[in-house]
Structure 1
Amino acid sequence: MHAIRLHAYGPAENLVYEETGDPAPGPGQVRIAVTAAGVHLLDTALRQGMPGPFPALPDLPTIPGREVAGTVDALGEGTDPAWLGKRVVAHLGMAPGGYAERAVTDAARLHEIPPVLDDAAAVAMIGTGRTTLGILGFTDLGPDSVALITAAAGGIGTLLVQYAKNAGATAIGLAGGPRKTARVTAEGADLAVDYTRPDWPEQVRAYLGDRGATVVFDGVGGPTGRAAVGLLGPGGQHLVYGWAGRGPHDGEPLTFTDEELAERGITSRSVLGPAMLARAGGDIRTLELRSLAEAAAGRLRPAVQRFPLAEAAAAHRALESRATMGKVVLVP
């Protein structure tokens, strides 16, 4: 099979498209003939040798990627034969191997793809979708809510805009540049603002009048995230799911003292990792099932940007330079 392999940590050019042996499923596992593989910003950090939330870096050479969709084409010992030939999607967890024409995973990780979803959309929902619903578990959006979404043209941001509008909330989306703000408007945001313009907070204040935002969904951090928090009204929530801004000082998590929060009457918390898992009752599959169901019902519509598998390096460069919109997916 063909796969993307990383032989040395470093720049995107270290991702090499090459032939390698087909993986064999072990007991309780399946092999998937991959039709779509998700690319995550964490993949770019791992490629550079930064483990991030992972306990350790993978041994080299490695095939990156932890989100795949496709058709089950081989079974390991003891695996339910009913899986053979089914269209499935899976998050591989800590085990990489997704950037390839074939990947193996435990059958317990599989979800059958709803017939109305294509494979790329299913990949977007198994990772990005489940994270979005996990974030939303920390707030309760309704007609009186004003949601300020900092990375609204991204995979998570797009779904947050859609969810907010479905809930009857006012959705204000921040994105970098006119192409992205146009996309945010097309997704239904009440206001889309270019956060590369220095006057963007004034634009939001002019739109809201005497209202403040009730929740900031922050995937940017740095000065942009701090300016967004400045638009919260009393009782507002700052929910942090990343710090991937492209500004000169973005890409840094925000910190607030208890005194600052008390003075403003707001709260700030990170919603990833153990906190999200605990809020989901300790079962991440619950979020995956809900995510796929929301997409199948048409309530959430993931935005997808596709790259050929052989161009994984270009996909990483585009993601790192914030040139992408929606979920980045590799297609073998």
Structure 2
Amino acid sequence: MNARLSMHAALVGGGVLLAMAFALGAASGAYAISISQLWQVITAVWNDAADPSPQQLVFMNIRLPRLLLGVAAGAGLGMSGALMQGLFRNPLADPGLIGISSGAALAAGVTIVLGAWLWPVLPRTLGSWTLVTMAFGGGFLVTLLIYSLSRSEGGTRMALMLLAGIAINALAGAGLGLLSVMATDEQLRSLQFWLLGSLGGARWSAVILVSVVVFIACAFALTLSAPLNAIALGESQAALLGVDVERVKRRAIVVTALAVGSVTATTGIIGFIGLIAPHWVRMVAGPDHRVVLPASGLLGAALVLAADTVARTVMAPAELPLGVLTAFIGVPMFLLMLRHFRNRV
């Protein structure tokens, strides 16, 4: 029998990995800051030094908002992946199955390519928040559509939700292809940059908003750990244990839509974090959602920070798109997961 980490060990290990990834990300970049300088910078910022050094300016205005956005994004994606895997009772599930990412991408594409024609008043009203607002709304609406298509008299059918998600994701992909053909060169570059994902657009207002939404979503997600443990036995057995299965499904879907929608609308599409982080946690700590949910958030945050650090440094001064890097890492991990799943079956 494989040894499993205890809940305390798993959470401490996730916290240590996150701290290491945060320190590495804070020190690395085009303007390098050594670990000793980093401690001095943090101390000076904490003491509110009157004459900030160049290292302080770089850390406060460039590195710190990007790192905090990465933490929020990774935590939201990792936790949402654990929710979806628990809800579908399938370790190969991820938040994209319920259409959040594809809906956000389609809405972002429509805004970039056709926004000036369809709703010219929005940029004057929302300013730089136009794309973020439309992407979040698109992701949330598509999720509601998939949820409604999966409803029947007996409740929400997860198999129907999976099929509806596949169909809607394919339709969104076709829509993005059509928009790519219609776009000008400048619009196409903007669309491709958004689709590939990046933390480069981090600003304090967006960081605060996404962090608050993800924190609230994670807090609600933790209340679903016991019901998800019961659902792992089967929906009928969970109902016999007193779990309101339909209520758990609704809450899990809404929480996932809020977390992933806010992250995707701000950073673009960052793939595979919601798939591999919960799976790795289950491999080392077991299936208990009291461990899987928080540890997946910690590991997801560490993975996003580590990937972003590589993206900023491997081709410096150019920056590799974050979504490309997570795909290069995530696809081999996904194939290994498929092999492991096949062997178990």
Q: Same fold (TM over 0.5)?
A: no
Q: Which has a greater percent of strand?
A: 1
**If the length of structure 2 is used for normalisation, what is the TM-score?**
0.27
Q: Give the structure with the higher percent helix.
A: 2
